Amino acid sequence: MCGITGYIGYRQAYPIIINGLQRLEYRGYDSAGVFLYHENDIRLTKTKGKVADLKALIPPENTTANIGIGHTRWATHGIPNDVNSHPHTSQSGNLVIVHNGIIENYDTLKKELINRGYTFKSDTDTEVLINLIEEIQISKKLKLGKAVQLALNQVFGAYAIAVFDKSKPNEIVVARLGSPIAIGVGKNNSEFFIASDASPYIEYTKKTIYLEDGEMAIVRLNRDIVVRKISTDSPVGSNIQELHLNLEQIEKGGYEHFMLKEIFEQPKAIVDTYRGRMIPHEGIIKMSGVDDNLEKFLNARRIVIVACGTSWHAGLVAEYMFENFARIPVEVEYASEFRYRNPIISEKDVVIAISQSGETADTLAAVKMAKERGAFVFGICNVVGSSIARETHTGSYTHAGPEIGVASTKAFTTQITLLTLIALRLGQANGSLSKQEFYNSLHSLELIPDKIVSVLANDAHIKYIASIYKDAPNCLYLGRGYNFPVALEGALKLKEISYIHAEGYPAAEMKHGPIALIDENMPIVVIATKKGHYDKVVSNIQEIKSRNGKIIAIVTQGDTVVKGLADHVIEIPDTKEAFSPLLTTIPLQLLSYHIAVMRGCNVDQPRNLAKSVTVE
């Protein structure tokens, strides 16, 4: 979490940094700051609040500079206030730093620095790091790059940093361990851009270097970038990659919020996920990451899926699919729990890590642990070139395009699509699926994007339902089978963006607790599609009805039974039960979105959350 931007070159740095921070606000937005260097003058402005608050504080006449760094924060050490905001300066005021991550041994380092006469203005671990760098630089009479390298060798934790030294105003030193950092390279090295991801500089250059874990670089004007290993200070080759991202993809395109845009992008995103991989009329699924490792999948004792948040919910849907289509046992684990247990994992297991950002710290750590124990690790990520994509043995990208709204929408449905392809491919390969079942499934899946279009056409009706329940203090979501994870996801969506307390439950479990909460004030969203244990769910609806709960039911088009019982119904087209989550999830996203907007919440940047959780 936290977003970093920086610029050094011939253009005005301020607009690049401030616009870049706005693009990175998905990474954290509780405080922001910018530092500009101009003619020996350090201008530092920082504030609690969003990048827009920061912008309002800086008079345009104070923005002239060709070098600077900026930061948007998601607090870890120290509450979000002006003082704890980044950038931080060293005791002498000569060094400036922005940092994304956590320095775990900051307390010990801080005590040592206090003994050596350092005082601290903030409560942050970052101020400790910049003073450690300064202490090494002064006591050993070293240049900035070397001092940074030695300091980082004393540090435990995770970081992406950018450091500036007033006495070397033509360079910025960057380093990473655990948190991402990218460098945009301008023509003939005449300018460089630094950022947590490439979005802040896509209109200026397509040439990018993604630092790997344990690497640092001295970014120096008019010089080639030299990447070095932090542990040994030895040079490693710098791999300049071409970016395939454009400005349009990260703008709102006429929608009021990114979340709404991303909900409506789902039909296209799903086509982008299966395009080139699924050829229904030929009865083919080809995915190189799977095909090249087919034996590993087919001989696996089990598949373990690790993920966090919404990605974990996609994993739960996949569990039903892998077991049904391919008859391979599956366990789905929260990455954070998996990594701190002593899981029984060996070369007999296949681990699938699911992550939109590809940067989630717990998922990344789980991947590393599974690899160490000999498992074959397959990554499902959206962000190309992300840490998890690189760390896994192989994998597939979802190709959903940038997801900027903090609440995940199209990432979820594209993850499910990709996992469906894998499950179908394995079921075909090991004979669990007949030729006909396989073929029919491909045709059903191909129709899903058009069916989503028809669900999206219910938006006005869903908005009306939202207007009735926008003030509810609690909400329950129920589903069974494939739609149990959708109930969890629906509840998560509502609580994360509208701050209404919501819980998802397997419908039958309602009797073991949640039923006690039901009264005439309680809205209950029930997924009651025709093919998913329909009769059982209808019984559950009766039980709610007799306790006067308000029922919002997601039903299959043409349903009459549930229509007669529910207070509201939202119809979705019929499809195979296994593919229904791709449809049932859409109205739940829209319901949460409209409720949150009506409650005046910031749907794209909900309080306390961040999109990319690069701390444990």
Footprint on this chain of ligand G6P (rule: CB under 6 A): 308-311, 355-357, 360, 363, 406-408, 609, 611, 613
- Pick 406 or 475: Cβ nearer ligand G6P: 406
- Pick 124 or 415: Cβ nearer ligand G6P: 415
| Torsion 523-527-528-534 (CA) sign | negative
The answer to whether the beta carbons of residues 98 and 162 sit under 8 Å apart is yes
Q: Nearest Cα to 185, choosing from 166, 170, 198? A: 198
Q: Is 611 a catalytic residue?
A: yes
CB of 311 to ligand G6P, least distance (A): 4
Maximum Cα–Cα distance for the chain, whole Å?
Answer: 81
Quickly count: other Cβ atoms within 10 Å of residue 288's Cβ: 10
- From the candidates 46, 493, 495, 611, which is the catalytic residue? 611
Q: Beginning with the edge strand found earlier in the chain, give each strand of the sheet holding 376-381 in spatial order.
A: 330-334, 302-307, 349-355, 376-381, 394-397
Three-state SS for 468? helix
Distance CA 226, CA 216 (A): 9
Which single residue brings its beta carbon nearest to ligand G6P? 309
CB of 363 to ligand G6P, least distance (A): 5
CB of 475 to ligand G6P, least distance (A): 19
Write the CA distances from 34 to 58, 231, 419, integer angstroms.
10, 30, 42
CB of 613 to ligand G6P, least distance (A): 5
- Pick 486 or 562: Cβ nearer ligand G6P: 486
Q: What is the 3-state secondary structure (H, E, C) of 343-394?
A: CCCCCCEEEEEEECCCCCHHHHHHHHHHHHCCCEEEEEECCCCCHHHHHCCE
- Pick 389 or 442: Cβ nearer ligand G6P: 389
- Pick 186 or 358: Cβ nearer ligand G6P: 358
Q: What is the DSSP letter of 121?
A: S
Q: Beginning with the edge strand found earlier in the chain, give each strand of the sheet holding 550-556 in spatial order.
A: 501-506, 474-479, 523-528, 550-556, 568-572
- Pick 382 or 428: Cβ nearer ligand G6P: 382
The angle that helices 581-598 and 459-469 make with each other, rounded to 10 degrees, is 50
Residue type, 446: E
CB of 308 to ligand G6P, least distance (A): 4
The answer to whether the beta carbons of residues 227 and 211 sit under 8 Å apart is yes
- Pick 7 or 397: Cβ nearer ligand G6P: 397
Write the CA distances from 74 to 1, 25, 298, 379, integer angstroms.
6, 9, 42, 26
Distance CA 424, CA 418 (A): 10
* C-alpha dihedral (452, 458, 462, 464), degrees to nearest 10: 170
CB of 171 to ligand G6P, least distance (A): 32
Three-state SS for 176? strand
Cross-strand bridge partners of residue 103:
157
Q: Is 2 a catalytic residue?
A: yes
Distance CA 409, CA 589 (A): 7
- Pick 381 or 569: Cβ nearer ligand G6P: 381
CB of 545 to ligand G6P, least distance (A): 33
- From the candidates 2, 381, 475, 601, which is the catalytic residue? 2
- Pick 533 or 611: Cβ nearer ligand G6P: 611
Distance CA 185, CA 531 (A): 54
CB of 415 to ligand G6P, least distance (A): 8
CB of 303 to ligand G6P, least distance (A): 18
Catalytic residues: 2, 611
